[in-house]
A and B are shown apart, each in its own frame.
Chain A
Amino acid sequence: MSIDTETARRVAKLARIKVEDDALPALASEFSAILGFIEQLNEVDVEGVEPMTSVTPQRLKRRDDVVTDGDQQEAVLKNAPDAREGFFAVPKVVE
């Protein structure tokens, strides 16, 4: 399957990665090569096979639905590129 420049642009947008227009054709051709490699999977008969969800046959453990942690505002914000008044700060989201 061949990926065109428009598809590459759409995927970059979905992934929230800025890709300049002049880089799109090369990206599209890389995608095509990788997807071409993946196409081999179509040769496999997977009729009746369940998609794997867990590699070990174990049931996820459950715990009581209670608060176990908290009051760590300072630690949580410590690595933020921009934090103000106890919050993460970002550019204006709503006009």
Chain B
Amino acid sequence: MSDLTKLTIAQARDAMRKGDTTSAEITSACLTAIEGADALGAFVHHTPDIAQAQAAAADTRIKAGDAPDMCGIPLGIKDLFCTKGVPSQAASRILEGFKPEYESTITSQLFDAGAVMLGKLNMDEFAMGSSNETSVYGNAVNPWRRGNDDTALTPGGSSGGSASAVAADLCLAATGTDTGGSIRQPAAFVGITGMKPTYGRVSRWGIVAFASSLDQAGPMTKDVRDAAIMLKAMAGHDPLDSTSADLAVPDFEAALTGDIRGKTIGIPKEYRMEGMPAEIEKLWEDGTTMLKDAGAKIVDITLPHTKYALPAYYVIAPAEASSNLARYDGVRFGHRARLAQGDGITEMYEKTRAEGFGHEVQRRVMVGTYVLSAGFYDAYYNRARRVRALIKQDFDTVFADGVDAILTPATPSAAFGLGEMTDADPIQMYLNDVFTVTVNLAGLPGIAVPTGQDAQGLPLGLQLIGRPWEEGDLLNVAYSLEQSAGFVAKPTKWW
């Protein structure tokens, strides 16, 4: 078979089961593609030996019959996941040299299912960023370009390496994590599918924590069917994560009938932002028409507290980050600063953290420290948590009124140029998450699906938001949208 790296998970699974190809062949094709793709900055730690050994084991299992769906599928793993004996440093200098003695629950479930790890993927430092420009490894680059213009574009963030690697066919799929949009925004920027499940659907154990009440991992794949297959392998209750839900994991792939007749799709008026580019507006209208033509009922809905989601997020996420990142103190793992004569333990903490954390991470840790400090806790942190309750209530109300899923744009624009936002104030960068962050605050499942291209040929995506725990239904609506949109464009190889 040719173009093995271009296969979807479903195609590869079926081909391997039929004996048309092997995991060893697909894995080796991916490793070759990765070797030639340094310019994308996607893979930051390569694990070809692990990959080949896992592929060989998978082939034995497939031959024996009855192998799981993910068996033999070569994946990229975001650097935020702890992988035993393999560098896992959350794209931060402070975790330089850290090789976990344990495996995250999600990677261990994937490997138990026979999946193959090709290496670790670039990301924003500690998942804090929307452009993959805060990484200690340097930028990840979008495989897409604006027509014939060779300006390097961002693949989005924080899961920028995952997005770039999947879009460029360096791997069949990748893991991502999403705290405010870090799976869905990069997926939209590179024309792939990215899903954040309901909070609690997948275990957070062994994933470097950013904001624990918002963090959730999910699949980044070439299509909706693959998202369903991979999510099933990642999901499930884990006694090691007290917030993981003890619920059965449905067969999400079986939910993909494409039949959405009678479903009610909500269009929230608050997402019609002032100054929204006409292309995004049209994309959204086209998506609405597609769902309507497929037999869904379209209703206008209101989510009145939408405007306050970003400010609430920029209290809650930094507050949780300042607490979670307190563990990086130069004592137990990673970087420790060189100390001067007479330096005590406080100097060790302060110098280590100043050297180890990048600028954006330092800024968020300090903002979090401030909003949690005595005298401000109520005014900032508690108020933000109250607003968060109202944001969730907005969604509860529309779901109680019979809405099955909500359609919105995934991002306010197409991918922007690397460096273009350097001089903007941090708030401008934060606005990238304006359509996605509400979903994290409300703990809901959300999925970004590519449905169009802008005038310069860059991919654009729409987001569907579903009811809690009903990922199967949500994936089915996404599947219908995907079929109607018929997005098949691929970036032209320049790397």
Chain A residues packing against B (C-beta within 8 Å): 3, 7-8, 11-12, 14-19, 27, 30-31, 33-35, 37-44, 46, 49-56, 58, 60-61, 63, 72, 75-76, 78-82, 88, 90-93
Contacts and interface: CB of A to CB of B under 8 A. Distances in A.
A44 B239 contact: no
Contacts, number: 166
B99 interface: yes
B452 interface: no
A8 B363 CA distance: 11
B315 A41 contact: yes
B332 A34 contact: no
Nearest to B307: A40
B146 to A, nearest CB: 30
A52 B388 contact: yes
Nearest to B101: A75
Interface string B418-438: 000000011100100000000
Interface of B: 97-101, 198-200, 213, 239, 242-243, 245-246, 305, 307-308, 310-312, 314-315, 322, 329-336, 339, 343-351, 353-354, 357, 362-363, 365-367, 369-371, 373, 380, 382-390, 392, 425-427, 430, 441-443, 468
Contacts of A56: 198-200, 243, 245, 443, 468
Given A14-B369, A38-B311, A38-B314, A46 B383 contact: yes
14 contacts: A11-B369, A11-B373, A17-B362, A30-B363, A33-B425, A37-B314, A38-B311, A38-B384, A51-B382, A51-B389, A56-B443, A56-B468, A88-B332, A92-B345
Given A14-B373, A55-B441, 14 more contacts: A19-B354, A34-B363, A34-B426, A37-B311, A37-B430, A38-B380, A51-B386, A55-B199, A56-B245, A58-B200, A75-B101, A76-B101, A79-B334, A81-B334
Contacts of A19: 354, 362
Given A79-B101, A82-B336, A31 B366 contact: yes
A18 B441 CA distance: 32
A44 B346 CA distance: 40
A58 B199 CA distance: 11
B427 A81 contact: no
B367 A34 contact: yes
Q: Which of B99, B305, B351, B383 has the most CB of A within 10 A?
A: B383
Given A16-B350, A17-B354, A41-B383, A91 B344 contact: yes
B353 A18 contact: yes
A75 B392 CA distance: 42
Given A27-B366, A60-B242, A63-B239, A16 B349 contact: yes
A90 B311 contact: no
A51 B213 CA distance: 13
Contacts of B311: 37-41
Contact of A41 (B331, B357, B384): B384
Contacts of B315: 38, 41
A11 B380 CA distance: 15
B199 A50 contact: no
B273 to A, nearest CB: 15
A1 to B, nearest CB: 10
Given A40-B308, A80-B333, A90 B348 contact: yes
A38 B370 CA distance: 12
Nearest to B369: A15
A40 B387 CA distance: 11
Nearest to B310: A37
A21 to B, nearest CB: 13
Contacts of B383: 41-42, 44, 46
Nearest to B342: A91
A31 B246 CA distance: 40
A16 B242 CA distance: 29
A72 B101 CA distance: 10
Given A56-B199, A81-B334, A16 B389 contact: no
Contact of A93 (B345, B351, B392): B345
A15 B307 CA distance: 30
Contacts of B370: 3, 7, 11, 31, 35
A17 B334 CA distance: 16
Contacts of A37: 310-311, 314, 427, 430
Q: Which of A15, A46, A50 counts the most B-chain CB atoms under 10 A from its CB? A: A15
B316 to A, nearest CB: 9
Nearest to B316: A52
A81 B330 contact: yes
Contacts of A39: 311
A52 B389 contact: yes
Nearest to A29: B425
